[in-house]
Amino acid sequence: MGLVALGVTGGIGAYKAVEVARGLQKRGHEVVAVMTHSATRFVGAVTFEAITRRRVITDQFEDGMNADIEHIALASTIDLLLIAPATANIIGKLANGIADDFLSTLYTATRAPLLIAPAMNTQMFAHEAVRRNLDTLAARGARFVEPGEGYLACGWIGKGRLAEPDEIVAAADAILRPEGPLRGQRVLVAAGPTYEDFDPVRYIGNRSSGRMGYAIAAEAARRGAAVTLVTGPTTIEAPAVREVVKVRGAGEMHQAVMARAGGMDVVVMAAAVADYTPVNRAAQKVAKDADTLTLVLKKTPDILGELGQRRLAAGSGPVLVGFAAETEDVIAHASAKRERKHADLIIANDVSRTDAGFDVDTNAVTIVAASGAESLPLQSKARVAAAILDRVERLLTSRAIKA
Ligand code: CTP
């Protein structure tokens, strides 16, 4: 995941930059919009503000803004400067080192790569001055998303129309993401608790916050995977991933995962799925009549176990990763669980510790594989997620070699 400064200049294609911002976010990137004065005449800054949830930079000399500090601060933190649409004017300024507004100043101050999506009238695009400026920028390492051919707002049919947002997002993404085995892989992560309802207002739940699974989903997206997050009820914000499927009970989670698992390369069951669910769900709120209340529970389907069985029967299927919340004999129990469920990895958690496991930002886990167990030190869930996905990448690579 990277931070993209999205420069928007005053072209008729400026409205498409809104879709570009959204597309970048969907791929897990953060976006800060920088609009030139003329861009604000085509699209309102509030539109970008609502989407990026960041203040939009519209002018170098805005009241109350120390331009010198702000552009230098931004220049050193961005991973990519993307200008879409880029007019002949901004291309000319960047090529010639003119820095008379925030965007052009940001360009001279940053060492981040530059990606330009030009958009202008066909004649302007073909003009020698513009061609020379584009060549100058290319020689400096700038990359381009070529304008498409088609109907232009000025009435000409020809080259100059801003490239489609999807194409611009893909080009930006390719610059931001390192090549790795998870890139382009389809990853399903199930996260959070499940709530098993026994009347219209009450349920049996558990203490899972969803943080560990969400961290894995975010890290997989950062590594270029197409991530589907199937999540039980949580209070934390879902990361920007391809698809988020909200479920409540174990039965719903089972359905959501099984329906999608066939098309996946990796499935991570980080959810704390209820093992039992009430046999009956009362139609009305259960009244407090008796001194004791007995709930009869039945076993839920074991999602990971079923995925393991399915893969065993088919002879191929996704890499399977499960979690094991244990309170004693952690490694022995987790190893047995791995074999029983035919998973590749079991991430064993000692939930008796207060600094690891449920509802905290840190975790200490042991990764149990067929080849043995590796204990990781106490660290943030984001780093644990990275370590788990390193192991998943190794498995994907060794599969690819065998295939
Ligand atoms: N799991 C699942 N479906 C269930 C229960 C658990 O897919 N109905 C998954 C969890 O998401 C986790 C792994 O199985 O990845 C292990 O969960 P855990 O509850 O620790 O294991 P159980 O098989 O339920 O074994 P036990 O409770 O007896 O330790």
**Structure confidence by residue, pLDDT tens digits, 282-338:** 999 999 999 999 999 999 999 999 999 999 999 999 999 999 988 889 999 999 999
CA 377, 231, 325, 204 dihedral sign is positive
Instruction: State residue 32's pLDDT score.
Output: 96
Distance of CA 322 from the midpoint of ligand 1 (Å): 8
Cα-based angle 323, 399, 348 (whole degrees, multiple of 5): 15
Pocket residue to mutate for ligand 1, from 195, 269, 335, most atoms within 8 A of Cβ = 269
Instruction: State residue 70's pLDDT score.
Output: 66
Distance of CA 345 from the midpoint of ligand 1 (Å): 13
One domain for residues 194 and 98: no
Instruction: State residue 243's pLDDT score.
Output: 92
Residue 192: active-site member: no
One domain for residues 171 and 206: no
Ligand 1 pocket member 217 (CB < 6 A): no
One domain for residues 72 and 215: no
One domain for residues 192 and 155: no
One domain for residues 133 and 158: yes
From the alpha carbon of 347, which atom of ligand 1 is closest? Answer: 15
Domain count for the chain: 2
One domain for residues 244 and 152: no
Q: End of a domain among 176, 200, 234?
A: 176
Ligand 1 pocket member 243 (CB < 6 A): no
Pocket residue to mutate for ligand 1, from 277, 302, 331, 341, most atoms within 8 A of Cβ = 302
One domain for residues 162 and 194: no
Q: Give the residue ranges of the chain where pLDDT is below 50.
A: none
One domain for residues 166 and 219: no
One domain for residues 158 and 191: no
Ligand 1 pocket member 271 (CB < 6 A): yes
Active-site annotation holder among 50, 73, 138, 154: 154
Distance of CA 279 from the midpoint of ligand 1 (Å): 19
**How far from the centroid of its chain's Cα atoms is residue 91's Cα?**
31
From the alpha carbon of 250, which atom of ligand 1 is closest? Answer: 8
Domain containing residue 362 = 186-402
Distance of CA 235 from the midpoint of ligand 1 (Å): 22
Ligand 1 pocket member 240 (CB < 6 A): no
> Residue 181: inside a domain, yes or no?
no
Q: Which of 33, 36, 45, 48 is nearest to 11 (CA)?
A: 36
One domain for residues 156 and 265: no
Q: What is the rounded distance in angstroms from the CA atom of residue 268 to the CA atom of residue 389?
A: 10
- Whole-prediction pTM value? 0.69
For 52-83, what is each residue's pLDDT tens digit?
A: 999 999 865 565 555 556 667 889 899 999 99
Report which protein residue has its CA nearest ligand 1's atom 20. Answer: 324
Instruction: State residue 382's pLDDT score.
Output: 85
Ligand 1 pocket member 212 (CB < 6 A): no
